[in-house]
Chains A and B, each alone.
Chain A
Amino acid sequence: MALVLTEEQVMLKESAAGLLAEKAGVAQLRALRDADDALGFAPDVWRDIAGMGWPGIAIPESYGGLGYGYIGLGLVLEQAGRHLSPVPLQSTVLLGATLLNALGSEAQKQALLAPLAAGELHVTLALQEGPLHAPEDTALKAEADGAGYRLHGSKCLVLDALAAQQFVVIARTSGEPGDSAGLTAFLVPADAAGLTVERRSLVDARGVGALQLDAVQVPADAVLGDVDGAWDGLSRSLDIAYIGLAAELLGIASEAFERTVGYLKERKQFGKVIGSFQGLQHRAAELFAELELSRSLVLKALQAIDADDPQLPVLASAAKAKLCEVAQRATNEGIQMHGGIGMTDEYDIGFFIKRARVAQHCFGDYNYHLDRFARLSGF
Chain B
Amino acid sequence: MSDLEKFRADTRAWLEENCPPAMREPVRGFDDLYMGGRNPEVDHPDQQVWCQRMAERGWTVPHWPREYGGGGLNKEEAKILQQEMARIGARRPLESFGISMLGPALLKFGTEAQKQEHLPPICRGEIRWCQGYSEPNAGSDLASLQTRAEDRGDHYLINGQKVWTSYADKADWIFCLVRTDNSGSKHEGISFVLFDMASEGVTTRPIKLISGSSPFCETFFDNVRAEKRNLVGEEGKGWAIAKYLLTHEREMISGFGTAPKKSLGSVAVETYGADASGRLRNGILRHTIAQYQLDALAFGATMSRVGDEAKAGQGLGAASSIFKYYGTELNKRRNELNLAIGGEPALGWDGDVYEGGATSRDWLRSKGNSIEGGTSEVQLNIIAKRVLGLPD
Contacts and interface: CB of A to CB of B under 8 A. Distances in A.
Interface of A: 128, 130-132, 156-157, 200-205, 210, 268-271, 274, 277, 279-280, 328, 332, 335-336, 339-340, 342-346, 350, 353-354, 357-358, 361, 365-368, 370-371
**Secondary structure call for the B interface:** helix
Contacts of B343: 130-132, 361
A274 to B, nearest CB: 8
B163 interface: yes
Interface stretch (B187-195, B291-299, B375-383): B375-383
Interface stretch (B68-76, B115-123, B202-210, B230-238): B202-210
A280 B371 contact: no
Contact of A343 (B210, B340, B348, B377): B210
A344 B139 CA distance: 15
A350 B363 CA distance: 12
A361 B363 CA distance: 15
Interface in B328-342: 332, 336, 339-340, 342
A339 B282 contact: no
A368 B283 CA distance: 9
Interface in B202-230: 207-210, 212
B282 A336 contact: no
Contact of B209 (A132, A270, A328, A344): A344
B256 interface: no
A131 B271 contact: yes
Given A200-B353, A350-B210, A357 B347 contact: yes
Contacts of A342: 367, 371
Contacts of B336: 328
Given A131-B271, A336-B375, A365 B370 contact: no
Nearest to B381: A279
Contacts of A346: 207-208
Chain A to chain B: the 9 pairs with minimum beta-carbon distance, closest first: A131-B343, A350-B210, A345-B208, A367-B285, A201-B350, A269-B141, A132-B343, A340-B164, A367-B284
B351 A200 contact: yes
B201 interface: no
A270 B140 contact: yes
Contacts of A365: 340
Interface of B: 134, 137, 139-141, 144, 163-164, 207-210, 212, 271-272, 282-285, 288, 332, 336, 339-340, 342-351, 353-354, 357, 360, 364, 367-368, 370-372, 375-377, 380-381
A343 B371 contact: yes
B340 A344 contact: no
Contacts of B349: 201-203, 205
Contacts of A332: 332, 367
Contacts of B208: 344-346
A132 B285 CA distance: 13
12 contacts: A128-B344, A131-B271, A200-B348, A200-B354, A201-B351, A201-B354, A280-B377, A332-B332, A335-B210, A343-B210, A346-B208, A361-B347
B367 A336 contact: yes
A361 B271 CA distance: 15
Contact of B344 (A156, A354, A371): A156
Nearest to B213: A345
Nearest to A365: B340
B12 to A, nearest CB: 39
Nearest to B345: A131
A91 to B, nearest CB: 16
B348 A340 contact: no
B42 to A, nearest CB: 25
B210 A354 contact: yes
Contacts of A268: 137
A346 B205 CA distance: 13
Contacts of A340: 134, 139, 163-164, 368, 371-372
Contacts of A271: 141
Nearest to B288: A367
Contacts of B353: 200, 210
Highest count of chain B CB atoms <10 Å: which of A157, A204, A342, A345 = A345
B339 A357 contact: yes
Contacts of A205: 349
Nearest to A199: B351
Highest count of chain A CB atoms <10 Å: which of B285, B351, B357, B367 = B367
B282 A368 contact: yes
Given A205-B349, A367-B285, A344 B207 contact: yes
Contacts of B354: 200-201
A205 B354 CA distance: 14
A280 B377 CA distance: 8
A279 B209 contact: no
Contact of A339 (B288, B375, B381): B375
A335 B367 CA distance: 7
B348 A202 contact: yes
A202 B368 CA distance: 21
Given A131-B271, A339-B371, A344-B208, A269 B139 contact: yes
A345 B349 CA distance: 14
A244 B332 CA distance: 28
A346 B206 CA distance: 11
Given A201-B348, A205-B349, A366-B284, A336 B139 contact: no
B276 to A, nearest CB: 15
Nearest to B283: A371
A346 B218 CA distance: 13
A132 B271 contact: yes
B370 A336 contact: yes
A128 B343 CA distance: 11
Given A203-B347, A357-B347, 16 more contacts: A131-B343, A132-B343, A132-B344, A200-B351, A203-B357, A269-B140, A332-B332, A340-B139, A342-B371, A343-B210, A343-B367, A345-B210, A350-B364, A361-B347, A371-B283, A371-B284
Contact of A353 (B144, B207, B210, B272): B210
Contacts of B360: 202-203, 357
A336 B371 contact: yes
Contacts of A339: 139-140, 371, 375
Contacts of A335: 210, 367, 371
A279 B139 contact: no
A203 to B, nearest CB: 5
A269 B374 CA distance: 13
Contacts of A328: 336
B62 to A, nearest CB: 32
Given A328-B336, A367-B285, A270 B141 contact: yes
A201 to B, nearest CB: 4
B340 A367 contact: yes
A370 B376 CA distance: 29
